[in-house]
């Protein structure tokens, strides 16, 4: 049921966001679209000019349509008429007329981050579509890619499927992932690799060799993409240590695979850092005529900042902890319900209600989905139910009697259904501590990245700890929370119902659509 809710709501409201959010009003969407267009031309690295500018040559028409919408970000009183958008949809491409465009913050992004957008732009250029039409097509194709990856992740999840469906459907999440942002692919891959790790961590039965190799291949490939796109998410690979050693035929093999995974990801990070480091231009060195609006801050030097962190690790840890705690309320609000560049939020009561329902879903014990399906298929109260003071899971003999009553005559069916009853419905304590540890590592890794790229050297506070960056991080914390039996409170039991959760999400998404229309459009 959670999968159906996810597909319907994600496709419906995601399509709404694709269409009604004015062009380039998702954070950094201007520069992400520029970079995606550059990659579609086969240029894998941003171009640094002799006069210290960073970007690339793009069609004049692409630069022209973006300028129309630059008056909206950070200007909450500015709005746009819908006929302006329709007018710009008719601007012809004229791909041969080029101009150099600055996009210094995204020029260093890896090309892989824009795979869905590049496909859409390439198709649009082949069909000679107008550039703004190509932009909307890129948004929609990117949404479909994200939806497909998250759907695959939810199919893999053996536990907390409802929780992860709700996380993907949070208004802020859907707003970002229905855009042309380069973060969409990273978000989708992160959801998938987390689900794959959870699947393997909870597997009791030793995996066949072909399935193990397939899953490990996926982990190596997708984690490599994540590390290439966002080095702050690299610590996800440490989840491999939580997989039981019997899947690898011993501890030695497990450690070999784990260290190969870690060092291959580190090699990818080092390669891309070395490739792009000559391109970086400090604020002070950037061409003064073009540096306004390039999201460059005075005093920022990533190399000196990383050296400062290395020399003063305890000082940085204190700065990071203080900044993360002080920014936490805003970060959580951004994570749940923020739209656009400025402070455009869902009402606080809706945000609080969504947070409460997510917390309930994270901490409530759940019956295994396969267990529930088998119980429903077999029918009757004799299968899966037990008198008071007896364990909830059936003993082998009771399971056999229940299966026999349902005409499960073969030994293969018997053992299959007994195995269903003994599958875990939550992570072990060890696994929960592991997820908590990786959550902490990713949080501080992200803080270090923001400190290096955004803050003056030696700054005592880290800015820009936005909630959108925590989309792949907070799920780890929720998986690490302890689980309890259903509360005796009628209110909490009501809020724990799946239908109630998705009804609230539907209302919050509908409110979000209305709020976006009210914020951006002049009628």
Reported as type and span, the H/E element at residue 58 is strand 54-59
Between CA 336 and CA 92 the distance in angstroms is 38
Q: What is the mean pLDDT of each run of 10 residues along the chain (523 residues)?
A: 92 96 93 96 93 94 92 88 92 92 92 96 95 97 97 95 96 95 95 96 88 94 95 95 93 95 96 92 90 84 92 94 94 90 86 95 74 46 40 44 42 41 69 96 94 92 88 95 83 88 95 93 87
What does pTM read for this prediction? 0.87
pLDDT at 408: 38
pLDDT at 490: 85
- Cβ(151)–Cβ(5) below 8 Å: no
Distances in Å between the Cα of 300 and the Cα atoms of 316, 452, 453 are: 16, 7, 7
pLDDT at 407: 44
Residue 117 falls in which region: left (phi positive, over 0), alpha (psi -120 to 50) or beta? alpha
pLDDT at 169: 96
pLDDT at 368: 52
Between CA 313 and CA 523 the distance in angstroms is 54
Distances in Å between the Cα of 340 and the Cα atoms of 13, 343, 407, 499 are: 16, 8, 58, 29
Q: Which residues pair with 54 in a beta bridge?
A: 48
pLDDT at 367: 64
Q: Which two tokens stand for residue 13?
A: 């409201």
């Amino acid at each position: 049921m959670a999968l159906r809710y996810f597909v319907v709501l994600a496709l419906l409201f995601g399509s709404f966001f694709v269409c009604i959010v004015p062009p380039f009003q998702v954070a950094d969407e201007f520069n992400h679209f520029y970079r995606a267009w550059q990659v579609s031309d086969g240029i894998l690295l941003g171009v640094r000019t002799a006069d210290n500018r960073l970007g690339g040559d793009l069609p004049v028409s692409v630069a022209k349509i973006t300028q129309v919408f630059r008056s909206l970000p950070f200007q909450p009183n500015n709005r746009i008429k819908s006929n302006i958008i329709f007018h710009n949809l008719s601007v012809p491409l004229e791909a041969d007329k080029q101009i150099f465009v600055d996009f210094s913050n995204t020029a260093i992004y890896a090309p892989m981050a824009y795979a869905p957008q590049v496909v859409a732009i390439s198709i649009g250029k082949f069909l000679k579509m107008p550039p703004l039409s190509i932009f909307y097509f890129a948004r929609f194709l990117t949404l479909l890619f994200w939806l497909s990856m998250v759907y695959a992740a939810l199919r893999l999840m053996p536990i907390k499927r409802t929780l992860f469906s709700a996380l993907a459907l949070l208004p802020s999440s859907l707003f970002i992932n229905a855009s042309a942002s380069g973060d969409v692919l990273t978000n989708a891959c992160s959801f998938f690799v987390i689900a794959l790790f959870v699947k393997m961590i909870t597997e009791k039965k030793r995996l066949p060799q072909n399935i193990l190799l397939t899953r490990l291949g996926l982990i190596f490939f997708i984690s490599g993409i994540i590390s290439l796109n966002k080095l702050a998410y690299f610590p996800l690979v440490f989840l491999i240590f939580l997989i039981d050693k019997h899947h690898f035929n011993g501890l030695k093999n497990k450690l070999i695979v784990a260290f190969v995974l870690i060092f291959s990801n580190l090699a990818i990070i080092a390669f891309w850092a070395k490739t792009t480091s000559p391109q970086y231009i400090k604020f002070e060195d950037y061409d003064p005529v073009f540096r306004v609006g390039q999201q460059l801050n005075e005093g920022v030097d990533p190399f000196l900042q990383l050296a400062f962190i290395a020399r003063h690790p305890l000082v940085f840890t204190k700065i990071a902890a203080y900044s993360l705690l002080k920014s936490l309320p805003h970060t959580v609000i951004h994570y749940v319900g923020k739209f656009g560049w400025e402070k455009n939020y869902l009402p606080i009561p809706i945000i609080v209600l969504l947070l409460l329902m997510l917390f309930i879903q994270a901490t409530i014990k759940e019956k295994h989905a396969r267990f529930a399906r088998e119980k429903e298929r077999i029918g009757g109260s004799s299968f899966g139910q037990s008198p008071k003071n007896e364990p909830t899971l059936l003993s082998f003999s009771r399971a056999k009697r229940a299966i026999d009553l349902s005409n499960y005559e073969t030994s293969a069916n018997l053992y299959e259904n007994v195995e269903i009853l003994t599958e875990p419905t939550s992570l072990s304590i060890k696994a929960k501590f592991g997820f908590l540890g990786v959550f902490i590592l990713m949080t501080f890794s992200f803080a270090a990245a923001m400190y290096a790229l955004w803050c003056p050297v030696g700054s005592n506070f880290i800015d820009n700890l936005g909630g959108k960056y925590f989309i792949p991080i907070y799920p780890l914390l929720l998986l690490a929370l302890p689980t309890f039996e259903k509360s005796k409170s009628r209110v909490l039991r009501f809020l724990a119902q799946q239908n109630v959760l998705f009804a609230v999400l539907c209302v919050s998404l509908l409110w979000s659509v209305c709020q976006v229309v009210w914020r951006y459009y002049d009628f």
